[in-house]
Amino acid sequence: MKKAGGLALCVAVLGVAVVLSLCAGNRWIGIGEVYRALTEFGGSDTDRVIRYLRLPRTLAGVLVGIALGLSGGVMQGVTRNPLADPGILGVNAGAAVAVVAAIGLFGVHSLNGYVWFAMGGALVATVVVYLVGAVGGTTPVKLALAGAAISALLGSITSAVTLLDLSTLNEYRFWVVGSLSLADQGIVAQAVPFVAVGTFLALMLGRSLNQLALGEDLARALGTRVMLVRSLAGLAVVVLAGTATAIAGPIGFLGLAVPHVARTIVGPDQRWILPWSMVLSPAVLLLADVVGRVAARPAELQVGIVTALVGAPLFIALVRRRRMASL
């Protein structure tokens, strides 16, 4: 009951973050005006700001947060690697280089086009990192090192492409820092089905990931189809991380830190870690976006910069608080 009550409290925090995201910005708009803009749209400047700028941005933050929190939790569970994260294991870098190729080589400029390239890049990077990290036996450290090396290689390719093409660089430089400011109603509508499918797959895997944590042999003895579970987990990660990267660019530390926070609170049961990560992650992302909007007014800090500034010390604190055991 305590875990369920805590999850309900997290939902309430997410609700507060949503309200703040709708109200805060270059100009504070009261809750009453926000409510009227959403229910009685009159075409005023305030109504347009709420309806066409802040609402899509908030919904995009919720979708990206859900996708990153769940993908990080699933990656840590299926690899039994406490350092697993779409950023550290090269998934975001693979999606990013594929999106750059889509912009520069194929002239793609919409999320509907980005998302397929992002998923393809994420899939290829995931397979390559796993194959490189599996040479001589898979360990968490080898996977992390393989991810860092592949990420550096893909980052170099991305830099080379953008430096050779000025128009691609102009579009890419706003996207790469991780931002929700470019989200609109069309992007949100296109992303919902992908995040829904990925979320369904991830939440379905909770019990199987618990059995995998006991070891492959015992998991098989309990009836778990190990290869099927790993394949579905990989598919969920690719869909979620690829969609999140296509919407907002690479956002680091969220998928790494939030599942650890959830694990610290609810213990090692993936059936609780995944729902908690799914709620905590968008709350943290929206609050970081609000801080970025109000801290440097009239300009703003991109949310990817804020999450990096907050996420790195938080993760170090988690590591220092208790020894990070293998999962």
53-92 per-position pLDDT tens digit: 899 999 999 999 999 999 999 988 887 777 677 777 777 7
The angle formed by the CA atoms of residues 280, 61 and 84, to the nearest 5 degrees, is 55
pTM: predicted TM-score of the whole model, two decimal places: 0.85
Q: What are the tokens at 39?
A: 């229910």
Name the range with the highest mean pLDDT among 117-121, 152-156, 208-212, 247-251: 208-212
In the prediction, which pLDDT does 20 show? 94
Q: Which residue bears the tokens 């550290």? A: 88
- In this model, does residue 49 exceed pLDDT 70? yes
Task: Show the 3-state SS of 5-69.
Answer: HHHHHHHHHHHHHHHHHHHCCCCCCCHHHHHHHHHCCCCCHHHHHHHHHHHHHHHHHHHHHHHHH
- Domains of the chain, first to last: 3-320 (1.10.3470.10)
| Cβ atoms 239, 86 nearer than 8 A | no
